[in-house]
Chain A
Amino acid sequence: AQSVAQPEDQVNVAEGNPLTVKCTYSVSGNPYLFWYVQYPNRGLQFLLKYITGDNLVKGSYGFEAEFNKSQTSFHLKKPSALVSDSALYFCAVRDLRNTGGFKTIFGAGTRLFVKA
């Protein structure tokens, strides 16, 4: 089954410290993985994606994610957190089972709270 899990409902980190938001996935075949961010009262915005190649993917706002095939993980990271990074983060995997379009399966979301 195609699925994605975000094991933490909330992550708390102090400003200036590194942050990690965890994501694990289950897919058949090669995974297409995404991270999106949602600020309050807004729609989701794309951060980064992994398709193939380098396991470390760099994205918007200084975020990066590390793809680990053996652990089936795609954790989101940032070396130094900002208060403005506080938001809801979604991991997602492309559902490749159907041929009638490219659906995406989203995790439940992790709320990141960065304290000044």
Chain B
Amino acid sequence: NAGVTQTPKFQVLKTGQSMTLQCAQDMNHNSMYWYRQDPGMGLRLIYYSASEGTTDKGEVPNGYNVSRLNKREFSLRLESAAPSQTSVYFCASSDGASKSDTQYFGPGTRLTVL
């Protein structure tokens, strides 16, 4: 099993450009998440999808959109990138069936916006 995969691994954008970060999981998990990691701030939740067909805003959703394409895939889109969106982005998934379920993380996408 590959677990959680993310593409691309690295990306450099100019201000105003758009891009989509892809995430897929092969663990048949119901819930998927997008986080951003910034120094000294830990992980902050951008959007999440509790189950296929649903998406909800997290702590820092502004400037982002998501699509839960199917049970396996959850994409994050930046419509007009800004330097403040320079960060490392992690996708995660979990079973979603209980309050104690564990999250599994992808390797991350390092995004720089110039």
Contact of B103 among A42, A104, A108 (CB under 8 A): A104
Q: Is the CB of B42 within 8 A of A45?
A: no
Residues of B within 8 A of A11 (CB): none
Expressed in whole angstroms, the Cα–Cα distance for A108 and B37 within the complex equals 9
A96-B99, A106-B35 are known contacts; what are 8 more A-B pairs with Cβ within 8 Å?
A9-B40, A42-B108, A44-B103, A46-B103, A49-B102, A103-B45, A104-B45, A106-B43
In the assembled complex, how far is the CB of residue B103 from the closest CB belonging to chain A, in whole angstroms?
6
Which residues of B from 41 to 85 have beta carbons under 8 Å from A?
41-45, 48-51, 54, 56, 58
Residue with the highest number of chain B CB atoms closer than 10 Å, among A32, A51, A103: A103
Query: Nearest CB to that of A47 among chain B residues?
Result: B102
Interface residues of B (CB under 8 A from A): 4, 31, 33, 35, 40-45, 48-51, 54, 56, 58, 90, 92, 94, 96, 98-108
- The answer to whether the Cβ of A61 comes within 8 Å of any Cβ in the partner chain is no
21 CB contacts below 8 A, A to B, read A32-B99, A32-B100, A36-B105, A41-B108, A42-B108, A43-B90, A43-B106, A44-B92, A49-B102, A100-B54, A100-B56, A101-B49, A101-B96, A102-B98, A103-B33, A103-B48, A104-B45, A104-B103, A106-B43, A108-B40, A108-B42
Q: Is the CB of B50 within 8 A of A42?
A: no
Residues of A within 8 A of B31 (CB): 101-102
Residue with the highest number of chain A CB atoms closer than 10 Å, among B40, B43, B92: B43
- Quick one: given A43-B90, A106-B42, A108-B42, are A101 and B50 in contact (CB under 8 Å)? yes
Contact of A34 among B4, B92, B102, B106 (CB under 8 A): B102
